[in-house]
Every structure is written in structure tokens, then in C-alpha cells.
Amino acid sequence: MRLCRQAGLLGMAAAVLVAASAGCSATSTVDSQGGAAEICTSPGVSADQITLGFVYPDSGPGSDALSSTRAGVDARLGLANEQGGIHGRRIVYDWRDDATSLTQNVQVVTSLVHDESVFGLLTASVTMGDSMAALSADGVPVVGLAAESSWSNYLNMFSFVYADSPEVVAQYVATSGAVRAGIVITGDAPSTLQLAARYTSALASVGIASESVPFNPAVDSATQTARRLAASGVNALVGLSSLDDLATIMQAAHTTGMEIAASVALSGYDQRLLAAKGKQLAGVSFPVAFRPFESGGPAIDRYRQAMNAFAPQAGGPDQQLAMFAYIYTDMFLRGLELAGSCPTRQGFINALRGVTDYDAGGLISPVSLRDNMGKPSPCSAIVQINPAGDAFDVVRQRVCADGTSS
């Protein structure tokens, strides 16, 4: 164990130790009985537990949206440890707050990997960008939220979904009777404008014209925006904006009598949203990358039971990002299981990258982790806030980019 800690602290000098890039391998010694006993010297691995690191924004911009992710980690690890752990070892974690800061992310990732010598990382961060190259060079396995495009450049970094598919959303909007869509955007960041261009192209591919709708509630009138959209024939909205901005425009649309055949937001599938803005967002649909909570079934039952038992602080299990973190954690556990009784970092990476049918125990459609890097989800379920604004309804079990649906 000490050998791995020293190798991690040496940083660049770790290149001298070839095994360090694989996370320190197993060695053999002679036990008291005179036989060969395997000793696991990988970072974070002891006789009875494996220690992971978890990085997410507990403070700073976006921290509220990602706050439920830690509950998802707690729930899945709690369930695994209740069932005996992985190869007889409990799985535990140390966590750090990156405060949605690239600089602080580098600091906390370095702390976990080099000072705490964790085996690998779970992440629910949107500011991993400046840490990725070093994690790859050190051969540290990472599973989590692939919020940055560079995530897909590294074989040591895993996710089950890299992006929502504009083509899936376009297919859903097309089947809803839309003829022209307004793409609502907040701000003019290059990434936002690039995403809007992708949705424009996807909508055009199914015969729907569209226009971008920049909206700043501090200077723009929602009523005037809704009237302008109605006058140009827009009868569908795609929200690449904040949910607050979309709710403001939706309210103005209803007040002015604007007909809306379809409205879609990319995130927000969460019971807390219903309590806060359910009535304002009634009729808004959301693509979902996992089996919707409302669909039920054994996999959803297991998730809910784990959340209630091991993460009661979450205030209810039906939260999109808690589910994402639960699945990320399940992926990591799958990698540990496949890496064997004395796991190494490189053995983990090789084993998990070789999985071609990962389905999170029935929570997602099977995905190949061998070749899904950087690819949007080919299919999604679609849920919609009901007219009363107090529940989600499953309106499509499956909509795919190729036009098939159920």
C-alpha cells in the first residue's frame, strides 16, 4: 500500500515505475504457512475495502442542480456493501467539492489521486477539462457525467451517455404536429450556439423549419417574444435555456393564446421541479436516457429501495441526476467485479472497456462501452409534465434517431 502512495506522490517520476501507470499490480510473498499469498498493492485497495474518490460541486454555480448526485452514489454503494461488497471488499469513497471551478477541480482531483491514493474516481462535475490529461497519463479510471466534449478523448474515462440526441428530439417534435420550432437559448456562449445549430439541422432533416430565440428576462419581454413567435408560425419550443426562462415564455404563450404542439427541455426530470414550476411548465416534455420512474419494474424498484434505505437525505428517489450517479456507480462496480479479486487500474479499464452489453441491471437499454465514446444516445424515452403540472406521464417509451418509436 505504501509503495502505491509513494508512486502517486512522485508525480512525473512515476514514469520510472512502469507498473504505476497500471495502478500497481499484485505481488506474491510467503505466508506463515509457507504458501504463496497474493498481496494487492493497487492504490486504494486494502484487504477489506476499496476506496474511490467522488468529485462534484457541493458549492458554486450549478451546485443545486447536481446536489442529488451524491445520494445516487450512496444508494448504489450501500446496496453493494449490504450484499457483501465486491470480491469480499467494502467499497467506500472520499469526496471533494470542485465548486464548478476548473482550477479547484485540478486541486481536488490531485488531492484524491496523489494524497489519498484512491483507486479511481466517480464524477458529477462539469469542470473536469483541465484534469483529464493527467488522469489519463496516470491511468486512473474515471466514471461519470460526460459534460465536456473532451471526455470522449480518453480511454480511461467512461460514461453510459455522452449527449442527448438532437435527432431524437426532432423525431419526437415531428410526430407532435409541429411545423416550425423556436429554439430558446440563454446567453451567447459558443457551446450554446453550436448546440442550437445542431438542433436547427436535426429539425430541418425531418422537415421542420426553426429559428433561434435568444431570451434574457432582464431586458426581453416574454409577452412580446411569444407574440413574435406566434406571428412567424412557430408552434413548438425547444428549450436550450434555463427552465426559468422556458417557464416564463410558456406562461406568456398560454396568456397570449399561442398554440404549442410540442415543447421540449433537455433536463429537469425531477419531482422537485413539479413542486417549484410544474404548473408553468405543464405540457413540457423531456428526453430520458434511462427507464422512466413512472414505468416501474424490478430495476426501478431496486433503485427506489436503495435510495430510501441508504440516501434518505435526498428527499425522494425520483430525481434524474441521482439516477445518473447511481448508474455511474453501478458501472464502476461492474468494472471492479470484472477486474478480479486483486484489481489494478489498467485491468479495470481494459475489462470495463470490453463490456458490449451494459444495461445497469435493466435501468438502460444495452450499450457497448467499447465504442460508445462521444456518441449521443440513439434512443430515449420521453416524459411530459401533465396538464395539472403535478406529475410526469410517459408519452413515448422509446423514440429513436432513425424514426422508430414505441
Per-residue confidence of the chain (406 residues) as pLDDT tens digits? Answer: 333 332 332 232 222 222 333 334 444 433 333 333 357 999 999 999 999 999 999 999 878 889 999 999 999 999 999 999 999 999 999 999 999 999 999 999 999 999 999 999 999 999 999 999 999 999 999 999 998 989 999 999 999 999 889 999 999 999 999 999 999 998 877 878 889 999 999 999 999 999 999 999 999 999 999 999 999 999 999 999 989 999 999 999 999 999 999 999 998 999 989 999 999 999 999 999 999 999 999 999 999 999 999 999 998 999 999 999 999 999 999 999 999 999 999 999 999 999 999 999 999 999 999 999 999 989 999 999 999 999 999 999 999 999 988 8
Q: How many CB atoms lie within 10 A of CB 298?
A: 9
pLDDT value at residue 31 = 35
195 and 55 inside one domain = no
pLDDT value at residue 400 = 95
pLDDT value at residue 38 = 53
- CA 280, 284, 287, 293 dihedral sign is positive
Tell me the backbone φ, ψ of residue 237, rounded to 5 degrees.
-125, 135
Show the CA angle centred on residue 257, arms to residues 253 and 262, nearest 5°: 55
pLDDT value at residue 190 = 81
Q: Which residue is it, cell 471488499?
A: 89
Q: What is d(CA 230, CA 261) in angstroms, rounded to the nearest whole number?
A: 12
Q: What is d(CA 91, CA 63) in angstroms, rounded to the nearest whole number?
A: 25
Q: How many CB atoms lie within 10 A of CB 365?
A: 19
224 is a domain residue = yes
Could you tell me the residue range of the domain that residue 257 belongs to? 166-292+379-400
Number of separate domains in the chain: 2
142 and 180 inside one domain = no
218 and 271 inside one domain = yes
Q: 187: which DSSP letter?
A: S
370 is a domain residue = no
406 is a domain residue = no
| CATH number of the domain residue 245 falls in | 3.40.50.2300
Longest Cα separation, the chain: 87
369 is a domain residue = no
pLDDT value at residue 20 = 31
Q: What is d(CA 8, CA 362) in angstroms, rounded to the nearest whole number?
A: 37
pLDDT value at residue 181 = 97
Q: Which of 331, 405, 406, 397 is nearest to 368 (CA)?
A: 331
149 is a domain residue = yes
pLDDT value at residue 344 = 97
All 3 cell numbers of residue 31? 505466508
Q: What is d(CA 26, CA 43) in angstroms, rounded to the nearest whole number?
A: 11
DSSP string, 246-297: HHHHHHHHHHHT---SEEEESS--BHHHHHHHTTTTTTEEEEESS--GGG--
Q: How many CB atoms lie within 10 A of CB 152?
A: 16
Helix (H) or strand (E) holding 29: strand 26-30
pTM, two decimals, is: 0.87
Q: What is d(CA 192, CA 238) in angstroms, rounded to the nearest whole number?
A: 13
Q: Which of 115, 144, 112 is nearest to 5 (CA)?
A: 115
Q: Which residues contact 179 (CB under 8 A, 6 or more apart)?
A: 208, 209, 233, 235, 236, 261
Q: How many CB atoms lie within 10 A of CB 315?
A: 12
176 and 255 inside one domain = yes
123 and 192 inside one domain = no
232 and 268 inside one domain = yes
56 is a domain residue = yes
Q: 376: which DSSP letter?
A: P
Tell me the backbone φ, ψ of residue 381, rounded to 5 degrees.
-80, 160
Q: What is d(CA 224, CA 252) in angstroms, rounded to the nearest whole number?
A: 8
All 3 cell numbers of residue 350? 481494459
152 and 178 inside one domain = no
405 is a domain residue = no
Q: What is d(CA 154, CA 289) in angstroms, rounded to the nearest whole number?
A: 22
Q: Which residue is it, cell 426532432?
A: 170
Residues in the chain: 406
End-to-end CA distance of the chain: 52
278 and 395 inside one domain = yes
213 and 278 inside one domain = yes
52 and 153 inside one domain = yes
Q: How many CB atoms lie within 10 A of CB 273?
A: 22
pLDDT value at residue 160 = 96
175 and 88 inside one domain = no
239 is a domain residue = yes
387 and 288 inside one domain = yes
Q: How many CB atoms lie within 10 A of CB 313?
A: 9
